[in-house]
Amino acid sequence: MTTSTKGLEGIVATQSSISSIIDDQLSYVGYKIDDLAVKSSFEEVIYLLWNLKLPTEDELARIKTELAENMEIPNAVIEHLRSYDLSTVHPMAALRTAVSLLGLYDSEADVMDPEANKRKAIRIQAKIATIVAAFSRIRNGQDPVKPKKNLGYAENFLYMLNGKEAEDIEIEAINKALVLHADHELNASTFTARVCVATLSDIYSGITAAISALKGPLHGGANENVMKMLTEIGEEENAIPYIEEKLKNKEKIMGMGHRVYQNGDPRAKHLKKMSEELTKLTGQEKWYNMSVEIEEYVKESKGLPANVDFYSASVYHSLGIDHDLFTPIFAVSRTSGWLAHILEQYDNNRLIRPRAEYTGPELQDYVELPQRG
């Protein structure tokens, strides 16, 4: 048997037409992330990932309408969110449970034909934003806000989160973040989703499994930990001494470096620009300035450039978003990619069943219980 590779690093596990990372260039269905980040809406990217082509004007209008019309969540899910111990539960745990619960209220949950799966994909993508916003408001002693059917996806999310319509720059920032996080080839949560549905389990199971994988701090929690680090540093003059001490103790600097990029994450520069604009607008320039100092120092001393999580932290913070909501917002975006991969897996399915390299003892003789010393 072939020997194992720790973490499956470098192993090609499947074929996919959804996204690629080639020569440090991320693309969705062949479209460069730089173009999509600047020119497209999140709804366009959802359509692109699910249909492997950019939408026409009519197709874009249709998916926008379908998403807006399906954003409301069952009252039973809202009441379930109210029942949590809101002083201790992490939003990712709440999201994981609520998405699983959604499946109980979908009459097509176990209908597996392609058209039903597309309808469920719309419902899940629409409702996951509402769940995150509702949980946030309930936790803060506020009532959930119903979505507006005339608002786009990013705008609706901010409206449900804050109870008021957002400024253009805020909508632009969230839309850009959603586009940049939408898919990333065969990452841990996407692979988890594909393994789950390869058993022919339903879409809700696949998304719940993916959320569970994203919950881990080595995958989805990086931007939350970046903001925790910046908060601990406090002021700009403390940044380099803090990082020097971390590096001296061989501690990981969150948001720096990426396993699949050798020369830098192509997504980072877009959120870096948004961070600069938003922190200046809100009078919180120190978070951007501190981030730039850290990025330059770590890149110079360790050869590690910033990844997409590094600047998304200060972007979300500038928007007044609670730090522990950063990963759930990541999940809102990545759900589009998870669903694309789930649909692709269903279309050409084979049970995913790798082997393990055995490292235990050789075959042994069974010893009867009385003779065991």
Integer Cα distance of 178 and 332 in angstroms: 8
Signed CA dihedral, 56, 206, 187, 312: sign only: positive
Task: Examine the domain organization and report whether 251 and 195 are in the same domain.
Answer: no
For residues 128 and 195, state if they share a domain.
yes
Residue 1 counted as domain residue? no
Spatial neighbors of 308 by CB under 8 A, at least 6 apart, are 180, 181, 265, 267, 268, 271
Q: Are residues 43 and 149 in the same domain?
A: yes
More confident residue, 217 or 126: 126
Pick the catalytic residue from 106, 183, 265, 309. 309
256 three-class SS: strand
Do 289 and 174 fall within a single domain? no
Mean pLDDT is lowest, of 247-251, 334-338, 339-343, for: 247-251
341 and 305 assigned to the same domain:
no
* Lowest mean pLDDT, pick from 2-11, 148-157, 348-357, 361-370: 2-11
Instruction: Output b/e per residue, 87-123; b: 16+ Cβ within 10 A.
Output: eeeebbebbbbbbbbbbeebebbeeeeeebbebbbbb
Answer whether residue 3 shows pLDDT above 80.
no
Sign of CA dihedral 96, 329, 50, 259: negative
| From 258, 270, 317, 341, active-site residue | 258
**184 counts as catalytic:** no
pLDDT at 116: 98
- DSSP three-state, residue 28: strand
Burial class (CB in 10 A: 0-12, 13-18, 19+), 229: buried
84 with 106, same domain?
yes
How does residue 10 score in pLDDT terms, banded at 50, 70 and 90?
A: confident
Answer yes or no: is pLDDT of 333 > 90: yes
Stretch (H or E) spanning 31: strand 31-32
Asked if pLDDT for residue 361 goes beyond 70, the answer is: yes
> Can you give the pLDDT at residue 183?
97
Report the DSSP beta bridge partners of residue 306.
256
What does the buried/exposed string (b/e) look like for 266-296 if buried means 16 or more CB atoms within 10 Å of the residue's CB?
bbbbbbbbbbbbbbeeeeebbbbebbbbbbe
What pLDDT score was predicted for residue 373? 81
pLDDT tens digits along 185-215: 999 999 999 999 999 999 999 999 999 999 9
Position 220 scores a pLDDT of 83
**pLDDT tens digits, one per residue of 23-62:** 889 999 999 999 999 999 999 999 999 999 999 999 999 9
Active site residue 309: yes
Q: Give every CB contact of residue 72 below 8 A, 6+ residues apart in sequence.
A: 127, 130, 146, 147
Q: In sequence order, what DSSP letters do the residues of 139-202 get, joined into one string? A: HTT-------TTS-HHHHHHHHHHSSPPPHHHHHHHHHHHHHHS--SS-HHHHHHHHHHTTT--
The first and second tokens of residue 230, run together, are 């910046």
Query: What is residue 215's three-state secondary structure?
Result: coil
Give the count of domains, the chain: 2
Query: What is the CATH number for 230?
Result: 1.10.230.10
Mark whether 278 and 264 lie in a shared domain.
yes
Domain end residue (candidates: 318, 334, 359):
318
Percent of the chain with pLDDT over 90: 86
In angstroms, the CA 161 to CA 50 distance is: 26
Rounded Cα–Cα distance for residues 158 and 164 (Å) = 8
Q: Which residue has the tokens 């309408």?
A: 65
pLDDT for 2 beyond 70: no
- For residues 11 and 5, the answer to whether their CB atoms sit within 8 Å is yes
Domain-embedded: residue 76 = yes
- pLDDT recorded at residue 209: 98
* Token reading at 24: 């440090």
210: Cβ–Cβ under 8 A, 6 or more apart, which residues? 189, 190, 192, 193, 196, 334, 335, 338
What is the per-residue pLDDT for 1? Answer: 56
Say what the pLDDT of residue 263 is. 75
Matching residue, tokens 């901010």:
158
In sequence order, the 6+-apart residues with CB closer than 8 A to the CB of 139 are: 86, 91
Please give the full DSSP string across 352-367, using - where no structure is assigned: --------SPPP----
- Enumerate residues 6+ apart whose C-beta is below 8 A from 344: 16, 17, 18
Q: Show the domain range for 134.
A: 16-216+323-347
Is 70 exceeded by the pLDDT of residue 176?
A: yes
Query: pLDDT > 70: what percent of the chain?
Result: 99
Instruction: Write down the pLDDT at residue 308.
Output: 86
| 118 lies in the same domain as 205 | yes
What is the rounded distance in angstroms from the CA atom of residue 372 to the CA atom of residue 365?
12
Residue-level pLDDT at 345? 98
Residues 98, 152: one domain?
yes
Mean pLDDT value across residues 218-231: 88
Mind listing the pLDDT tens digit for each residue in 122-150? 999 999 999 999 999 999 999 999 999 99
Co-location of 73 and 143 in the same domain: yes
118 shares its domain with 261: no
Q: Given its phi and psi angles, is residue 24 left (phi above 0), alpha (psi -120 to 50 degrees) or beta?
A: left
Task: Taking residues 269-292, report their average pLDDT.
Answer: 95
Tell me the C-alpha to C-alpha distance, in Å, between residue 27 and each of 19, 41, 47, 292, 312: 6, 15, 15, 26, 19
Position 340 scores a pLDDT of 98
